[in-house]
Structure 1
C-alpha cells in the first residue's frame, strides 16, 4: 500500500509526496512533529501537518533568509534567530567568521531534539560554539531586549498556532527596539499567491512598514511551499537592500552557495505587478 503525505495549499489544491517510510512521529507540548523519508525530496519535517522543510529544497529558503542581509550589513557581530528549530539558518550564519554570537530562540525544544537526530543536514549548525539555544517564547524573549543585535531573523512557522504571536505589530516593534541603530530584520513573509496566504502576507507587511523606516520585500522559488512562490521581508533602520549591497565584499568571503548569488540578490527584489499591488494596498493604511 502506498503511503503519501498530503498538505492542503488552498481549498482546491493539495501537494502530495510519496513517502518511503516515517522516521519519527510525536506530540510535543506545542505541536505534532513528524519526519518522513521520500525518494524525491529526501527527508522532510512537518509540524501539525504543514511542511517545514525538505532535504532537497531547504537550501533555497536558508540561503535567502541569511545571505541577503549578510551581504548588506557590513558588521554583523550579534544575531538573533527566532524560530528556526531545524537549524538551517544557524548553519548558514555559522559560515561567517565575523559573527561572534548567535542566539536561537525556539519555543519547542522537541523540534530541536528531533532535528538533531533525524535532520543532521540542517541541525549541524547547533554544534557551533557561538550558538546559544533559548527554549522560550520568542515574543517574550525579544520584549526584554534593547539595542543588542545587528541582525534578527524571524524564521517562524505560519501565522497560527505557536507562531501566531510572531506576526503582530507589538512583536515587530520589539524587534526594532532590540536592534542596534543600524540593525536589520528579515522575516519569512508567506506567499502572495493563494488568497489566505496573501492576506497573512499583507498583514505582516503592514505592521512592519509601521515599525521600520526601510521595508522591502523579496522573493524566492521554493517548490514544496504553497504555490512555490515565497516572500521574505527586509526591514532596516539604516541599510537599503540594494543601494547598500556590498557585492565585492560578499564575494571576497568565498562562501559557496547553491541558490544565492549577488545578481540573484538584486533580481529577487524585482517583484511581479500583482505582488507590488498587494503590498501598496496596505502600506498607507493606519
Structure 2
C-alpha cells in the first residue's frame, strides 16, 4: 500500500508522512482527532488535519516549552497548563520535584481520552498524583483565578477557532493577574519564517503587559518550516540571568534536547526574528 497523510501547512506548503495505518479517527464538538502509525516518525497525532505531535520528535517541543521557565523560577510550586491535553508538557513538568501541584485545563475531553488510549509516551504525564485535569475553557478558567500560579504554560493549538483568544492582549492580562508577584508565562507562538506578522503582534501585546519578554527558538522537524518560537514573559525573573542549571541536574541524563547550554542558545535570535519584535 502507498498511503500518505498530508498536512497543508499553508496554501503553498505541504508536509507528507507515509502511513502504515490509521489507528483511530473521531470527531469532538470542537475538532476532528486522528492517530496514525507512520513509517518515518512513529505514531502521529493530528487535530483538524494539523500535526500536533509525532512519537519521534515530540520531545523537542515538550522539553522546550517546559524546562526554560522551570529552570529560572526558584520556587515553582503551583503550575497551570492551558491546553496540552496530550500530556507531554505535564510529563516534563513532573520531572521537577519542586513542583507541588499541576493543574491542566483542556477544553476538549476527547484529546485527553485519545492520548491515554493511543499515545502512552506522552499520556504517562497523567499518572502523577500532583496532576489535576479540568475540562473547561482555559480563558474562562483563568479569569476566575487570581494571584495563584507560579508558572502558566499556554500549550495551545494554532491560533484559529476556539484557540484564537489565547493570543490576545486581554488574555495576557488575565494571565498576568493569575500569576503570583514573581510569576512566569510561557506560550507557543508559531513559526517565524511564515508567521512574522502574527509573531510581531503577539510580542507587541505581551510587552504591554509584562516587564520581561523575549522569544526563544527550538527546531522541530515536523512543525512548519522546522523553526518554532515560544514566548517567555515574566514579572521578575530573567530568562538568562536567573537560569540555574541545578534545577535540571537530577534528571539531565533523561532529557533529549534541553540542556543549560541550549537554554542560553535558544535566546540567541537570528536577526530576522529580532527585527520582528523590536
Q: If the TM-score is normalised by the length of the shorter chain, which range does it land in?
A: over 0.9
Which residue in 1 is equivalent to 2:234? Answer: 236
1:272 paired to 2:270: yes
1:147–1:177 contact (8 Å) kept in structure 2: yes
Which residue in 2 is equivalent to 1:283? Answer: none
Correspondences of 1:33-182 after superposition (within 5 Å):
33-182=33-182
Which residue in 1 is equivalent to 2:4? Answer: 4
Task: Give TM-score, length-normalised by structure 1.
Answer: 0.95
Q: How many residues in Structure 1 have an aligned counterpart in Structure 2?
A: 277
Report the Cα offset of residue 162 of structure 1: 2.4
Which residue in 2 is equivalent to 1:254? Answer: 251
Report the Cα offset of residue 163 of structure 1: 1.1
1:218 paired to 2:241: no
Distance 1:46 1:203 in 2: 26
Distance 2:200 2:3 in 1: 36
SS of 1:211's equivalent in the other structure is coil
Distance 2:150 2:241 in 1: 18
Deviation per CA, 1:57-100: give whole Å up to 9, x if none: 00000000011111110110000000000100010111111211
2:95–2:251 contact (8 Å) kept in structure 1: no
1:83–1:155 contact (8 Å) kept in structure 2: yes
2:71–2:247 contact (8 Å) kept in structure 1: yes
Greater Cα shift, 70-79 or 162-171 = 162-171
Q: Tell me which of 243, 246, 257 is aligned to 1:245.
A: 243
2:4–2:17 contact (8 Å) kept in structure 1: yes
The root-mean-square deviation of aligned C-alpha atoms, in Å, is: 1.0
4+ residue runs over 4 A deviation:
none
Distance 1:2 1:39 in 2: 11
Please list every run of 5 or more consecutive structure 1 residues that lacks an aligned counterpart in the other structure: 281-286
Report the Cα offset of residue 251 of structure 1: 4.5
Distance 1:138 1:189, change over 3 A: same
SS of 1:253's equivalent in the other structure is helix
1:159–1:200 contact (8 Å) kept in structure 2: no
